[in-house]
Amino acid sequence: MQTSANTGGDPMSPGSFERAKAIETPIRLRRADLFMLSLPMCRTFKSAYGASTGMKRAILVRLEDDDGTVGWGEAPAPERPVYGTDTPEGTWSVLADLILPGVMARTFSGPSQLAKTWEDLLGQHYAKHAAESASWAIASEKMGVPLALMWGGVRARIPVGESFSIYDNTELLLDEIALRLQEGFSRIKLKIAPGWDVSVVSAVKNAFPGTPLSVDANCGYTVESGPWKELDDLDLLMIEQPLPGDALMELSTLQSTLQTPICLDESATGYNTTRTALHLGAGRIVNIKPPRLGGLLECFAVHDLCVDLEVPAWCGGTLETGIGRGFNLALASLPGFTMHADMSPARIFYEEDLVEPTFDIELDGCISVPSRPGNGFPVVPERVERFAIRRWSSGSTK
Ligand code: OSB
Ligand code: MG
């Protein structure tokens, strides 16, 4: 794990948000396409919210510039609105009816000006993220500069951990962890829920002593119901989102009784909410997750806030394919991302990724930040077509 102090707080250099806002390259879109995919999962992923299993939908946005440059973005909206309020159906209609029609055949000075067109919409974070990220891919491609470099990234390799599902029994979990540690994952994050917590976490800690260990409760407890004292005694890196996202006062009360830092995930829905939560003492670490925050610009703002407040941050995941993960990896290269990312390769969840070549973990526990301009990993259109169950197109405006 990187524990070095943040280097992004230099008052002489602008934060990543100001830097990104100032990036200019003309964008004029002649075509936009949406694909609703149904992706076969190769494992069940279970958290306090229940299980994702079988087929999982994901929405892809494909934007095409007047000069032929193409950028892809991904909205990994969960099947059920349990993690946030976004759904695949809602995300689709917001993109098709509101966001994409507003950006066609107009000249924008860059991604941040384009994103201003949907600024007035409340929520709809997955839709906004998908459209904004596709426009970043276009800007990066046109400028011939990889996203990480364009955004001010400072590291080429991201230390990654695996987020372990809730299993039917502890043995199965221990076997899975052993396999992933062999592959190189260097931080263990366990999903916990009432009935699957202290004894499982203790078993993992005993079986893999010395490996950084954290837990993610996905809002599954109350201040009264959680085994806080027992968890606090386990010397965890963090307890991610122990209480509901909007329970900021309760989170603050809980944090004041714990040595272990609370990490904000579901509570950190934007710059303002994250700032409020941190000022209330509701947590001491932030999981920065692009779809949850509604785009990269919001991520940059939260990143800069964390750097200013000296709050450690890390890049979370939302079961993205290699398309979404390409943006996450570039984001995680920024200076404030001082802790392991949740960035398991798509092969862990899906039978097939949508990009080729895709990425994987290397034996030192890191994943390389893509060095290609545009979508960090090249999208395979044939696979997109094969998994597509619905399509929408703005049509050519040429
Ligand atoms: O809480 O971090 C979470 C996946 C979907 C929604 C919420 C979460 C997660 C994960 C998986 O933990 C992380 C990943 O994508 O690798
Ligand atoms: Mg989480």
**In the CATH hierarchy, which fold is given to the domain comprising 149-368?**
TIM Barrel (3.20.20)
Q: How close is the Cα of 78 to the center of ligand 2, in Å?
A: 13
Catalytic residue among 21, 56, 191, 205: 191
Q: Which ligand is nearest to the CA of 283?
A: 2
Per the CB < 8 A criterion, the answer to whether 44 and 51 are in contact is yes
CATH architecture of the domain covering 16-144+384-393:
2-Layer Sandwich (3.30)
Q: In sequence order, which residues have a C-beta less than 8 Å from that of residue 199 and are 6 or more positions away?
A: 170
Helix intervals (H) in 233-357: 248-257, 271-280, 290-293, 296-309, 322-331
Which residues, by Cβ under 5 Å, contact ligand 2, an ion?
Answer: 216, 240, 265
Q: Would you say the CB of residue 76 lies under 6 angstroms from ligand 1? A: no
What are the extents of the domains in the chain?
Answer: 16-144+384-393, 149-368
Q: Output the six-digit token pair for 250.
A: 């309760």
Average pLDDT value for residue range 326-332: 98
DSSP for residue 6: P
Residues listed for the chain: 398
Is the pLDDT assigned to residue 230 strictly greater than 80? yes
Closest atom of ligand 1 to CA, residue 216: 1
Catalytic residue among 21, 46, 128, 289: 289
Closest atom of ligand 1 to CA, residue 189: 12
Q: Which ligand is nearest to the CA of 267?
A: 2
Ligand 1: which of 39, 126, 163 to mutate, most ligand atoms within 8 Å of CB?
A: 163
Nearest CA-CA partner of 387 in 36, 3, 6, 51:
36
Average pLDDT value for residue range 88-98: 98
pLDDT of residue 146: 98
Is the pLDDT assigned to residue 3 strictly greater than 80? no
Least confident segment among 1-10, 17-26, 66-75, 346-355: 1-10
Per the CB < 8 A criterion, the answer to whether 61 and 34 are in contact is yes
Q: Would you say the CB of residue 83 lies under 6 angstroms from ligand 1? A: yes
More confident residue, 91 or 7: 91
pLDDT of residue 10: 53
pLDDT of residue 363: 87
Q: Would you say the CB of residue 290 lies under 6 angstroms from ligand 1? A: no
Average pLDDT value for residue range 153-157: 97
Q: Would you say the CB of residue 216 lies under 6 angstroms from ligand 1? A: yes
Question: pLDDT tens-digit profile of 178-225?
Answer: 999 999 999 999 999 999 999 999 999 999 999 999 999 999 999 999
Assign 9 a pLDDT band (cuts: 50, 70, 90).
Answer: very low
- Answer yes or no: 191 catalytic: yes
pLDDT of residue 23: 97
Q: How close is the Cα of 215 to the center of ligand 2, in Å?
A: 9
Q: How close is the Cα of 240 to the center of ligand 2, in Å?
A: 6
**Is 221 buried (19+), middle (13-18) or exposed (0-12) by CB count in 10 A?**
buried
Is the pLDDT assigned to residue 348 strictly greater than 80? yes
DSSP secondary structure letters along 366-392: EEEPP-SBSSSS-B-HHHHHHHEEEEE
Average pLDDT value for residue range 299-305: 98
pLDDT of residue 4: 31
Q: Would you say the CB of residue 318 lies under 6 angstroms from ligand 1? A: yes
Scored b (16 or more CB within 10 A) or e, 314-341 reads: bbbbbbbbbbbbbbbbbbbbbbbbbbbb
pLDDT of residue 326: 98
pLDDT of residue 14: 79
Per the CB < 8 A criterion, the answer to whether 358 and 345 are in contact is yes
Q: How close is the Cα of 320 to the center of ligand 1, in Å?
A: 9
Q: Which ligand is nearest to the CA of 47?
A: 1
Ligand 1: which of 83, 328, 342 to mutate, most ligand atoms within 8 Å of CB?
A: 342
Is the pLDDT assigned to residue 247 strictly greater than 90? yes
Q: Which ligand is nearest to the CA of 238?
A: 2
Express as a percent the part of the chain with pLDDT over 70.
Answer: 96
Ligand 1: which of 43, 45, 46, 47 to mutate, most ligand atoms within 8 Å of CB?
A: 47
Kindly report the protein residue whose alpha carbon is nearest to atom 9 of ligand 1. 318
Q: Would you say the CB of residue 265 lies under 6 angstroms from ligand 1? A: yes
Closest atom of ligand 1 to CA, residue 317: 15
Closest atom of ligand 1 to CA, residue 319: 15
Kindly report the protein residue whose alpha carbon is nearest to atom 8 of ligand 1. 318
Question: pLDDT tens-digit profile of 248-270?
Answer: 999 999 999 999 999 999 999 99
- Answer yes or no: 289 catalytic: yes
Query: Across-strand partners of 160?
Result: 341
